Amino acid sequence: MKIVGINIDEEEIEQLTGEYPEDFKPYTWERNGVNHARIDIYLQDLSDEIYKYTIYISDENIEYKSGIKKYINCVGDTQPANTEDDLWDSFKQFENVVWVDGKPTNKEIIGDKEYHIARKGEEEVLHLRKMLLNRNMKDPQANIFLNWDKLLQGDIGRLKKDIPDTGEYHLVCLLYADEELHQKVWKEFLPVKMLAEINTGTFSKYTLPTWTKYKKNLENEYSGLKGHYYLGRLKKFEESDFKNVKELNPEKWEY
């Protein structure tokens, strides 16, 4: 997919989609003293179809009912913890690790990672940045944090600068049909360099763990994809594909 617009105005939406958004709403708002914003990302596929992916953000910290908080660091990793003392060393520090026979035998700390309690939507925004920037996240200079206050004010200039201006495609996305049979973009992206491997189903030892984790996230019982999909080349779902959803043949389709 290629990103062709972020938080564009009504006229630009009409130019991209051919339809004027009669129900268009502001990208930022305040509710009960909490600042909120919406980031609408417009994606174009190989056949020039346009899809929208939305990330909702706010200045609310993520804390679960149990009191456990979600922390996020400057390379986009997250970890649930009661306090900072419970965070893994590898979450808080950049490390060089020597592995022998699959086991770490020597560890050198090469820098500290910034981290804080994650705000709502922050993990999704940083994941997008990570896929676009395609940088070495083991480098102690790596830091993909954004100015959250600016984002909540509608300032997406930094995100726009992240989009490679090469005329090529930027991300690998999964399109799926949700439980109401609306075509959607899955929230997790893959780097565009993996496209050839995905198309052939052959992965290197470096990319196989990424692909394995991606599939596991899709199928997660609690937070995975709720809908119908198959892992392969682009398929635009038609209504005829779901005439009887309960009787989909798993031997024929990998939904």
Q: Are residues 205 and 162 in the same domain?
A: no
Tell whether 166 is covered by a domain: yes
Question: What separation in angstroms does the CA of 186 have from each of 16, 38, 78, 124, 231?
Answer: 21, 17, 19, 11, 12
Please name which of 194, 187, 201 lies closest in space to residue 254, comparing C-alpha atoms.
201
> What does the pLDDT look like over 169-181, one tens digit per residue?
899 999 888 888 7
Tell whether 207 is covered by a domain: yes
The reported pLDDT for the residue numbered 107 is: 82
Digitized pLDDT (tens) for each residue of the chain, 255 residues in all: 899 999 999 999 999 999 999 999 999 999 999 999 999 999 998 888 899 999 999 999 999 988 999 999 999 999 999 999 999 999 999 998 887 777 777 888 999 999 999 999 999 999 999 999 888 899 999 999 999 999 999 999 999 999 988 778 899 999 888 888 788 899 999 998 898 898 888 999 889 999 999 999 999 988 898 888 877 776 666 666 655 444 444 444 443
Partners of residue 191 on adjacent β-strands: 171
- Interacting residues of 232 by C-beta distance below 8 A, sequence separation 6+: 254
Please name which of 200, 185, 190, 174 lies closest in space to residue 134, comparing C-alpha atoms.
190
Cβ-based neighbour number of residue 10 at 10 Å: 11
Tell whether 124 is covered by a domain: no
pTM recorded for the entire structure: 0.86
Q: Are residues 54 and 156 in the same domain?
A: yes
- What's the rounded Cα separation, in Å, for the pair 21 and 183? 18
Q: Are residues 167 and 219 in the same domain?
A: no
Helix (H, G, I), strand (E, B) or coil at 46: coil
- What's the rounded Cα separation, in Å, for the pair 225 and 186? 7
Domain count, the chain: 2
- What's the rounded Cα separation, in Å, for the pair 237 and 233? 12
Q: Are residues 167 and 180 in the same domain?
A: no
| 172, 206, 221 - which closes a domain | 172
Please name which of 188, 240, 175 lies closest in space to residue 218, comparing C-alpha atoms.
188
**Beta pairing class for 2-6 and 34-44:** antiparallel
Question: What sign has the CA pseudo-torsion 165, 169, 173, 177?
Answer: positive
| 122, 157, 172 - which closes a domain | 172
Q: Are residues 152 and 255 in the same domain?
A: no
Tell whether 210 is covered by a domain: yes
Q: Are residues 180 and 241 in the same domain?
A: yes
| 172, 206, 241 - which closes a domain | 172
- What's the rounded Cα separation, in Å, for the pair 167 and 100? 42
Q: Are residues 159 and 183 in the same domain?
A: no
Q: Are residues 157 and 227 in the same domain?
A: no
Please name which of 89, 95, 91 lies closest in space to residue 79, comparing C-alpha atoms.
91
Q: Are residues 218 and 161 in the same domain?
A: no
Calculated CA dihedral for residues 30, 33, 39, 40, nearest 10 degrees: -40
Tell whether 139 is covered by a domain: no
**What residues make up the domain containing 198?**
176-255
- What's the rounded Cα separation, in Å, for the pair 148 and 164? 22
Tell whether 245 is covered by a domain: yes
- What's the rounded Cα separation, in Å, for the pair 226 and 208? 24
Amino acid code (one letter) for 253: W
Tell whether 48 is covered by a domain: yes
Tell whether 89 is covered by a domain: no
The reported pLDDT for the residue numbered 254 is: 41
Q: Are residues 9 and 22 in the same domain?
A: yes
Q: Are residues 52 and 152 in the same domain?
A: yes
Q: Are residues 184 and 234 in the same domain?
A: yes
Retrieve residue 81's tokens.
């913890």
